[in-house]
Each structure stands twice: as structure tokens, then as C-alpha cells.
């Protein structure tokens, strides 16, 4: 596949974290506003906000997020951050993106959950209007947090579904806080009608994917460990579940110690629904076009495959059916000249 064509083709991204995807210039602006000093040198800043090359686990990978957290404590900061992520997506021809964030991480100061969510929605909406990209927020509960905190955040988000909020998610320390520890809050979110995705299988724990499926979740963030369990792959396919794959991130967090542990081939062979995502554009130092290129180089993925993955993403997007169909038609038209090429 050709890098220029990959850049220009329309894309759908379902799994992109706000705080892990800020551009360096916007990180500098946010730091100035927050009176936080950063290295003047871009290479030094990049080293601070990218995954450490010697990361041994998800917890190592998450360290750059500590640099960003103090910068996202006001409504203008969140608006700017949300705008920045959509601007980057627009620059590589993403047509629809779901940007996820944890309101709790922006509540160290004076912001309420609702104010944090509204600020992100406002930033997404401004960038949508400016760049012609459709964008929704996904609101993350942190699995290590007390249930009342998480449930208050979901309660604030639920009335905004269809008005800038697409749905919810659980993120954070999966190894120490498996799905059972957040079952009540997941059920609470579902009872509010919040469409849910769920990080699972990022810590060599296939059982967490099974538990998320059993809880009724049909979009799984990462799903990396599913490759260890062929029977679970069959259940995943039978459930019609969608995998939000994040290759570069998985190799950095050691969710997959090597390519053989990354479940793409097994999922594809089983006919599973697959989507390709960046996870964190800045922390993982990647773009969606770059991820597509890697799938081409490493797994022989073709333009026709990419169209199929994008159609899967469009069909799984947390938007009304008529918007999914419009997105699907647009993608089909954009890929049509390339689907017979390699």
C-alpha cells in the first residue's frame, strides 16, 4: 500500500484517548496557561510525553499521562485539547472519531464532571465545524476509582448522549481491577442507556474479555489477550463483538510481547469484527495512517481490508443509524478506486 493513498483515504477511529493524543504545540500552550514549566527543547518534551522505550508494562506506558493531567484542569484547557485531537484527525482525513477521556482526571481543581464533559464536547464541536469531521466524546470511568465517583460521572454524561457524548468506557489499571470490580458501575451505565465500550485483554487476561462480553458489552478496547483462547474468539464472533485493535500501543505496553501475541491474524481467520486505532497519538507516537501502513507491512492487509475495517468501525460507532449509513456510503465511495489494488 502507498503511504500517500493511506493518508488521503477516509478513516473512522473509535479508540483515541484525549490526554494521550495532544500535539506538542498544544501541550506547550496548555502548560503556559497552567504555569507549568516544560523542557524548552522539543526532543526533551517528546521524551517526556511519549511512552518510554523501555516500558515493561501498561503502568510504565501510562507515566506520560501524569505530565498531561495538571494541564487539563480548566474548561478552556479541555476545549483546546479536544479541538487539537480532532484537528490532527482531520489532517489525516479521519471522517468520524470518538475521543475518550476520564472527567475524573480533570477534577483536581474546580471543574465538576458535567463541566469537564461539556468543555470537551464544545472543543469537539468547534473542530467539527471547522474541519468537517464528525466527533463524539466517550466518557471513561477509571476502574480503580470508587463506584460512587464513577457513577456520578456516568450520570452526568448520560443526558448528553446524542449531543456530543457517544457513550462510555472503563479504562485504567486492568490487572489489579478486573471487570468484576466495576460490574456495578458498568450495569449502572447500561441502565442509563449509555452505549458502552470496555478496555479488556490488555494485561494477558483473556478472562476479562469473556467477563465484558458476559456483561453485555459489544465493543472491546484492545482485546489483545483473546489470541490465547480460540474458544473465546468463537464466542466473541458469535456475540457480534467488535475489537478495537491498537497495535503500536500493545507492543509498547507489552500487552503483546511480540507480533505473534497480537491477535489480528486469529481474529481475522475467525471472521471477527476488527477496527484499527491509534489508542494514543502522542504517547504512542503514531497516526491512524501509520497504523494502517504497519498492518499492510506486517499482516499483508489490503485497501479492501481497510475498507472492511472502516465499515466495521462505522457500523459500531455510537451514532444514530442514518449517520452510520451516511458514513458507510462515504467510505465505500472513497475506497472504490483502490479496493482491487495492493
Calculate the CA 289 to chain-centre distance: 15
Round to whole Å and give the CA distance between 197 and 98: 11
Beta bridge mates, 243 = 220, 274
* Residue 145 to residue 147: CA distance in whole angstroms: 6
Q: Compare residues 98 and 211 and give the one whose CB is closer to Zn ion.
A: 98
Complex with Zn ion: residue 74 or 282, whichever CB lies closer = 282
Question: Which letter does DSSP use for residue 72 in this model?
Answer: -
- Tell me how far apart the alpha carbons of residues 235 and 211 are, in angstroms, rounded to a whole number: 12
Q: What is the number of residues in the chain? A: 342
CA–CA gap between residue 337 and residue 174 (Å, rounded): 42
Name the minimum Å distance from CB 219 to Zn ion. 12
Q: How far is the CB of 44 from Zn ion (least distance, A)?
A: 26
Concerning whether 293 is annotated as a catalytic residue, the answer is no
* Cβ distance to Zn ion smaller for residue 211 or 279: 279
Least distance to Zn ion, CB of residue 142, Å: 12
Of residues 31 and 313, the one with the C-beta less far from Zn ion: 313
Pick between residue 19 and residue 279 the one whose CB is nearest to Zn ion: 279
In this chain, which residue has its C-beta nearest to Zn ion?
A: 279
Rounded Cα distance, 190 and 215, in Å: 10
Kindly provide the residue ranges of all beta strands, DSSP E only, lying in 143-210, ordered along the sequence. 165-171, 198-200
The Cα–Cα gap between 46 and 210 comes to: 37
Q: How far is the CB of 278 from Zn ion (least distance, A)?
A: 9
Q: Active-site residue among 202, 244, 291, 293? A: 202
Which positions ≥6 away from 264 have C-beta within 8 Å?
A: 245, 247, 274, 295, 299
Going by their DSSP bridges, the two strands 273-276 and 198-200 should be labelled as unpaired
Residues of this chain that bind Zn ion (CB under 5 A): 279
Question: Min. distance of Cβ 303 from Zn ion in angstroms?
Answer: 26
Q: Tell me the C-alpha distance between 226 and 236, whole Å.
A: 9
Query: Quick one: cell of 228?
Result: 490465547
Give the residue numbers marked as catalytic: 202
Amino acid at each position: 500500500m502507498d503511504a500517500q493513498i493511506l493518508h488521503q483515504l477516509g478513516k473512522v477511529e473509535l479508540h483515541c484517548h484525549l490526554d494521550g493524543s495532544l500535539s506538542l504545540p498544544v501541550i506547550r500552550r496548555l502548560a503556559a496557561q497552567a504555569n507549568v514549566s516544560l523542557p524548552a527543547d522539543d526532543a526533551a518534551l517528546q521524551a517526556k510525553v511519549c511512552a518510554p522505550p523501555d516500558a515493561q508494562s501498561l503502568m510504565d506506558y501510562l507515566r506520560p499521562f501524569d505530565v498531561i493531567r495538571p494541564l487539563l484542569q480548566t474548561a478552556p484547557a479541555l476545549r483546546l485539547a479536544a479541538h487539537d485531537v480532532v484537528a490532527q484527525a482531520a489532517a489525516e482525513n479521519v471522517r468520524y472519531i470518538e475521543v475518550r477521556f476520564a472527567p475524573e482526571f480533570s477534577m483536581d481543581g474546580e471543574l465538576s464532571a458535567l463541566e469537564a464533559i461539556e468543555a470537551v464536547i464544545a472543543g469537539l464541536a468547534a473542530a467539527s465545524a471547522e474541519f468537517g469531521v464528525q466527533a463524539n466524546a466517550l466518557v471513561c470511568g477509571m476502574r480503580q476509582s470508587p463506584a460512587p465517583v464513577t457513577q456520578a460521572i456516568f450520570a452526568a454524561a448520560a443526558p448528553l448522549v446524542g449531543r456530543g457524548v457517544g457513550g462510555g468506557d472503563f479504562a485504567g489499571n486492568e490487572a489489579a481491577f478486573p471487570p468484576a470490580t466495576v460490574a456495578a458501575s458498568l450495569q449502572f451505565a447500561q441502565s442509563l442507556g449509555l452505549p458502552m465500550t470496555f478496555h479488556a485483554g490488555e494485561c494477558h487476561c483473556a478472562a476479562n474479555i469473556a467477563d465484558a462480553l458476559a456483561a453485555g458489552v459489544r465493543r472491546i478496547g484492545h482485546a489483545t489477550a483473546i489470541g490465547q483462547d480460540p474458544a473465546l474468539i468463537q464466542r466473541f464472533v458469535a456475540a457480534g463483538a467488535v475489537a478495537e485493535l491498537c497495535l503500536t500501543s500493545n507492543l509498547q505496553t507489552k500487552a503483546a510481547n511480540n507480533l505473534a501475541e497480537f491477535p489480528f491474524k486469529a481474529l481475522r481467520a475467525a471472521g471477527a469484527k476488527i477496527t484499527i486505532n491509534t489508542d494514543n497519538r502522542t504517547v504512542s507516537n503514531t497516526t491512524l495512517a501509520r497504523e494502517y501502513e504497519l498492518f499492510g507491512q506486517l499482516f499483508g492487509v489490503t485497501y479492501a481490508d481497510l475498507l472492511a475495517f472502516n465499515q466495521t468501525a462505522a457500523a459500531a460507532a455510537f451514532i444514530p443509524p442514518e449517520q452510520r449509513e451516511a458514513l458507510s456510503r462515504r467510505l465505500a465511495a472513497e475506497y472504490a478506486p483502490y479496493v482491487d489494488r495492493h
